[in-house]
Amino acid sequence: MASPDLLIVGSGLFGLTVAERAVSEHGAKVVIIDRRDHIGGNAYSEVDEHTGIEVHKYGAHLFHTSNERVWEYVNRFTEFTKYVHKVYTTHQGVVYPMPINLGTINQFFSAAYTPDEARALVAEQAGELAGTDPENLDEKGISLIGRPLYEAFIKNYTGKQWQTDPKDLPASIISRLPVRYTYDNRYFNDTHEGLPAQGYTAWLERMADHPNIEVRLGTDYFDTSQEYNRDAVRGQLPVVYTGPVDRYFEYQLGDLKWRTIDLETEHLDTTGDFQGTSVMNYADADIPFTRIIEPRHFHPERDYAKDRTLIQREYSRFAAREDEPYYPVNSGTDRETLLAYREMADAEPRTLFGGRLGTYKYLDMHMAIGSALTLADNKLPDLLRK
Ligand code: FAD
Ligand code: UDP
């Protein structure tokens, strides 16, 4: 492509959505670069050779949304299966349904409480925090479900996942999890839910399938030996940057804290079903991993081989600079550091920062797509004129 109108750094769902809108809505020519050797960012999946099972390379990805615009948009590129996500958790050798619902509560207390009785019990157990405004994850957790349930299902899991005392974590993390006084154990509350019927990669590739989009893989924005590097492009070309914001500014104001995960994959040839469900959490501190994923259960409609399976044990830890940054930790001085980086970002009028890494926000896929659509509506026309 001779000279693009827009450079997008990162081919995740944010970058792909902006690229698709830029070519379809504005007739722009777009180059997308990604330092990985595949498209799609963290939503990418691939087929495991040994079992034929689709594996989410960077961790389990479940699509869900209540945003009608996003749902209509994603359905242009893929059909979705009827998969409904359900999660179970193991605590002291017993399996319970998650998120916490009437089934979890009755099983935990060996009781047969009605919804009103369970509500009253939890209110009593959360009484120690009555009338206060929860300021962190620990207080929010106790105020939502009371101390006994919090200590069994949330405290240690969260400690393992974030490697941070829940007292130092924002309350918003736990607000993602519903608490229900019915036996409904769907993991998500959203109106729409499902998995891309032909797999994530087919969906992601379709978004970039346009003659005016060129994708260059294995291409790092900070590698000055490649054509579209930051030093060459800055101020010359409109850019949408979806990599880590602290990396962009050479960590001048310090490192933002990120969490990463390690997935340990095991192939099993002695059984076709290891755990009977896609995700089993491990709530206790003495089990080092947070959960086990068995990807075959994401697609019960597929005809996978029945004599073998694979599982992924998920471990969580702080990310060093050379690791993949996955989840913003948002503790301690992170907020101030982020605001200072945002000021620096605002001083770069031809570069817009977006996506989970560029904004340092815990965005689900539908949120990343929604915010890219908003950017395309509100900021892209101006950016393309510059
Ligand atoms: P990303 O997908 O991270 O894409 C950013 C891209 O930028 C990457 O491909 C990266 O290689 C590239 N890049 C970075 N720096 C450079 C550089 N210097 N040069 C070139 N390229 C660069 N969401 C859900 O809705 N449901 C889920 O169940 C779910 N589970 C998740 C599980 C895990 C383990 C993780 C990490 C995320 C999960 N998410 C889930 C969130 C989902 O992955 C994000 O919403 C989505 O990936 C955001 O897209 P993005 O484009 O902002 O970022
Ligand atoms: N969580 C927990 N126990 C569980 C599941 C979740 O304590 O069994 C807490 C944990 O703090 C986690 C948060 O709820 O970070 C949000 O959970 P979710 O499954 O949304 O996290 P994800 O891994 O998808 O980001």
Q: Does residue 76 lie in a domain region?
A: yes
Q: Record the tokens describing residue 65, joined without a space.
A: 């949304």
> Cβ neighbours of residue 114 under 8 Å, at least 6 residues apart?
none
The label of the residue with tokens 């969580």 reads 316
Q: Does residue 149 lie in a domain region?
A: yes
Mean pLDDT of the region 62-90: 98
> In this structure, which residue's CA is closest to atom 30 in ligand 1?
61
CB 154 within 8 A of CB 175: no
Residue 255 CB neighbours (<10 A): 15
Pair (97, 169) in one structural domain: yes
Pairing of strands 279-282, 87-91: parallel
Look up the ipTM and state it: 0.97
CB 237 within 8 A of CB 21: no
**pLDDT-based confidence at residue 2 (cuts at 50, 70, 90):** low
CB 7 within 8 A of CB 239: yes
C-alpha closest to that of 90 among 185, 156, 184: 156
Q: Does residue 315 lie in a domain region?
A: no
Ligand 1 centroid, distance to 7 Cα (angstroms)? 18
- Any idea what DSSP says for residue 196? B
Pair (71, 109) in one structural domain: no
**Which of 143, 173, 203 is where one domain is finished?**
173
Q: Atom of ligand 2 at shortest distance to CA of 137?
A: 11
C-alpha closest to that of 252 among 345, 361, 358: 345
Q: Does residue 334 lie in a domain region?
A: yes
In this predicted structure, the answer to whether residue 165 has a pLDDT above a threshold of 70 is: yes
CA 265 to the chain's CA centroid: 20
Pair (220, 240) in one structural domain: yes
Mean pLDDT of the region 286-299: 98
CB 304 within 8 A of CB 52: yes
* Binding pocket residue ranges, ligand 2, CB within 6 Å: 89, 98, 153-154, 157-158, 161, 173-174, 176-177, 281, 283
Pair (161, 235) in one structural domain: no
- Considering the entire predicted model, what is its pTM? 0.95
Pair (92, 133) in one structural domain: yes
Q: What is the pLDDT of residue 331?
A: 82
DSSP bridge pairs for 91: 94
Pair (129, 108) in one structural domain: yes
C-alpha closest to that of 323 among 264, 263, 258, 265: 258
Q: Return the CATH number at 67.
A: 3.40.50.720
Ligand 2 centroid, distance to 138 Cα (angstroms)? 13
Mean pLDDT of the region 261-267: 97
* d(C-alpha 73, C-alpha 64), whole Å: 13
Pair (18, 144) in one structural domain: no
DSSP bridge pairs for 45: 56
> Cβ neighbours of residue 269 under 8 Å, at least 6 residues apart?
307, 308
* d(C-alpha 265, C-alpha 247), whole Å: 29
Q: Does residue 163 lie in a domain region?
A: yes
In this predicted structure, the answer to whether residue 177 has a pLDDT above a threshold of 90 is: no
In this predicted structure, the answer to whether residue 349 has a pLDDT above a threshold of 90 is: no
Q: Where is average pLDDT lowest: 176-185, 194-203, 277-286, 364-373? A: 176-185
* Binding pocket residue ranges, ligand 1, CB within 6 Å: 9-15, 33-36, 41-43, 58-63, 220-222, 242-243, 261, 326, 355-357, 363-366, 368
Pair (138, 211) in one structural domain: no
C-alpha closest to that of 309 among 259, 273, 356, 350: 273
DSSP bridge pairs for 258: 328
The helix or strand, by DSSP H or E, that contains position 133, with its residue range, turns out to be none
CB 293 within 8 A of CB 311: yes
In this predicted structure, the answer to whether residue 1 has a pLDDT above a threshold of 80 is: no
* d(C-alpha 98, C-alpha 282), whole Å: 11
In this predicted structure, the answer to whether residue 230 has a pLDDT above a threshold of 80 is: yes
Mean pLDDT of the region 267-274: 97
Q: Record the tokens describing residue 365, joined without a space.
A: 């896929």
In this predicted structure, the answer to whether residue 316 has a pLDDT above a threshold of 80 is: yes
Q: Atom of ligand 1 at shortest distance to CA of 220?
A: 19
Residue pLDDT, tens place only, 100-142: 999 999 999 999 999 999 999 999 998 887 778 888 999 999 9
Pair (162, 124) in one structural domain: yes
Q: Return the CATH number at 152.
A: 1.10.3110
Q: Does residue 43 lie in a domain region?
A: yes
Q: Atom of ligand 2 at shortest distance to CA of 283?
A: 8
Q: What amino acid is encoded at 317 in this protein?
A: R
| Domain region containing 363 | 6-83+192-253+328-384
Pair (11, 154) in one structural domain: no
* d(C-alpha 306, C-alpha 316), whole Å: 30
* d(C-alpha 30, C-alpha 214), whole Å: 6
Q: Does residue 358 lie in a domain region?
A: yes
Pair (343, 223) in one structural domain: yes
Q: What is the pLDDT of residue 133?
A: 84
> In this structure, which residue's CA is closest to atom 19 in ligand 2?
177
CB 320 within 8 A of CB 126: no
Pair (108, 218) in one structural domain: no
**Which of 122, 145, 173 is where one domain is finished?**
173
Is the preceding omega at residue 99 within 30 degrees of 0, hence cis? yes
Pairing of strands 291-293, 279-282: antiparallel
Q: Does residue 343 lie in a domain region?
A: yes
Q: Compute the mean pLDDT over every residue in the chain, rounded to the nearest whole number.
A: 95
Ligand 2 centroid, distance to 176 Cα (angstroms)? 8
- Number of domains composing the chain: 2
Q: What is the pLDDT of residue 386?
A: 67
In this predicted structure, the answer to whether residue 224 has a pLDDT above a threshold of 70 is: yes
